[in-house]
Amino acid sequence: MMEKYLELEEKLILKLSDTWYIRNFIYSENKLSGRITLYLLILGIIAFINELYINIEMIFISKSTYEELDKGFIDHSSKLHKLLNSEEYHSREYYDDKQGIIIEEFEERSKFFAKPIGISHLSVECQLKDKNGVELLNKPIKYYIEFLQQEYEEDLEKMGLKLEFGCTLNFLRQQLYHLFKDSDIYEEFFSGDGAKNFSISKSLEIRNRGDEVLDNHLDGVQLCFLKIHDGDTIKCDFLYTKT
């Protein structure tokens, strides 16, 4: 058995010694250099195949999660999703009395890949509509919004939500509300007494990638559970009511 291996090894090293670039690391008078090069190549190939397998597995598991979320029905029960409430999908920390250190125990790889990605940025096309749904702007306003964790981290902690899943619908609603209030269009339509008719709870209709209206009762749900993917372009209607 050993003789066959050595024979195969010698053939492979001989082949490598004639291969472009690799031959620079193999010296004919030193067989050890050839063996080391062969060993490193084998390790590299194994590592590449393993990494490729992990990435393919990640794609399929992640795709399955998003398909499940996109096909599901959005309601108050979205707050009870298994990915939010099952501890097997999250790492945990515990204190080791013997070693006197805090140890973090991570979730299984498949569970980690199954989690949706928290929303870090979105584009939002905004239109101003009257009570009959007539569009009042010739061209929609388009906002590009980036979400920084430090801006909503404290709110999530108070609500008992996981930071890794990103901001809530309420945080997005607040961002859009203040962006629009600072615009010239707001001054044009809501100047004077008209301002009292524009409120964060009643004057914004945010829609997800499936064009479903996300009502106020979903404000405590994180965006990635509301059929919104990172980098999506979604829509928002600002409702204009005359005094």
Domain annotation covers residue 87:
no
Intra-chain end-to-end CA distance of the chain, in Å = 93
152, 224: one domain = yes
Cα(118)–Cα(128) distance, integer angstroms: 28
Cα(146)–Cα(186) distance, integer angstroms: 22
Of 24, 53, 68, the residue at which a domain comes to its end is 68
The residue type at 140: P
64, 130: one domain = no
125, 232: one domain = yes
pLDDT of 87 reads 67
pLDDT tens sequence across 188-229? 888 766 667 788 888 999 999 989 999 998 999 999 989 999
Cα(238)–Cα(124) distance, integer angstroms: 12
CATH number of the domain bearing residue 220: 3.10.20.90
58, 142: one domain = no
Give the domain extent around 9: 2-68
pLDDT of 180 reads 93
Domain annotation covers residue 114:
no
pTM: 0.71
Lowest mean pLDDT across 83-87, 96-100, 229-233: 83-87
63, 164: one domain = no
Domain annotation covers residue 115:
no
Domain annotation covers residue 54:
yes
pLDDT tens sequence across 159-177? 888 888 899 999 999 999 9
125, 190: one domain = yes
142, 234: one domain = yes
Of 68, 83, 113, the residue at which a domain comes to its end is 68
Q: For tokens 């999250």, what's the residue? A: 90
The residue type at 182: D
55, 128: one domain = no
The residue type at 59: I
Of 52, 68, 84, the residue at which a domain comes to its end is 68
Residue-wise burial string across 187-199, b where 16 or more C-beta atoms lie within 10 A, e elsewhere:
eebbeeebeeebe
Extract the tokens encoding 90.
């999250």
**Torsion over CA: 210, 216, 219, 221 (sign):** negative
Q: Work out how many domains the chain is built from and give that number.
A: 2
Cα(139)–Cα(152) distance, integer angstroms: 31
Domain annotation covers residue 45:
yes
Domain annotation covers residue 42:
yes
Q: Where would I find the beta strands (DSSP E) of the chain?
A: 92-96, 101-105, 121-129, 141-146, 204-207, 213-214, 233-239
Residue-wise burial string across 18-42, b where 16 or more C-beta atoms lie within 10 A, e elsewhere:
eeeeeeeebeeeeeeebeebbeeee
154, 229: one domain = yes
56, 141: one domain = no
What's 113's DSSP letter?
H
Domain annotation covers residue 109:
no
150, 218: one domain = yes
225, 145: one domain = yes
The closest of 159, 203, 149, 144 to 177, measured between CA atoms, is: 203
Domain annotation covers residue 90:
no
pLDDT tens sequence across 5-55? 666 767 776 676 666 666 666 655 566 767 777 778 888 889 999 989 888
